[in-house]
Amino acid sequence: MMCGNLFAATPALVAATQVETRQDPAQKEMQDRMAREANKKRQQDIREQTDKLFQLATELKAAVDKSNENLLSLEVIRKAEEVEKLAKKVKEKMKDSVGPPTKQELPTPVPIYPH
């Protein structure tokens, strides 16, 4: 008897879940727009952090060039750690994406003809 009630409730549960997953087109558009804006902001942050990373790497190279084989300053070590931390942040931010992937048009394949 208990199994009959379980199976009787299952179609109603499935129907309720299907209704909940449907979205109002305006709501979906708003979510899509928010996802695009979040990705745009993420891309801007990546550009800014990459510029900073380039600047730090350039400063690190200059500091290493000033040092010799017997002396490595704390400044060089700190700069290297800063480069490492920022590089990791940039890498993590590149992995993050909001929403479904955007559709990018693939190049049209060029047919290969036998000679």
In a domain, 3, yes or no: no
Q: How far apart are CA 65 and CA 52, in angstroms?
A: 20
Go through 53-88 and write b for each residue having 16 or more CB atoms within 10 A of its CB, e for each that does not.
Answer: beebbeebeebeeeeeeeeeeeebeebbebbeebee
**In this predicted model, what pLDDT tens digit does every residue of 58-102 receive, in sequence order?**
999 998 888 887 777 888 889 999 999 999 999 998 888 766 655
Q: How far apart are CA 53 and CA 80, in angstroms?
A: 11
Is the pLDDT reported for residue 6 higher than 50? Answer: no
In a domain, 98, yes or no: no
CB neighbour list of residue 35: distance below 8 Å, 6 or more residues apart: 98, 99, 100
Q: How many domains does the chain have?
A: 1
In a domain, 19, yes or no: yes
In a domain, 97, yes or no: no
In a domain, 25, yes or no: yes
Is the pLDDT reported for residue 103 higher than 90? Answer: no
In a domain, 80, yes or no: yes
In a domain, 111, yes or no: no
Structure tokens, 75: 């400044």
**In this predicted model, what pLDDT tens digit does every residue of 25-41 receive, in sequence order?**
889 899 989 989 998 99
For residue 44, give its domain range: 15-92
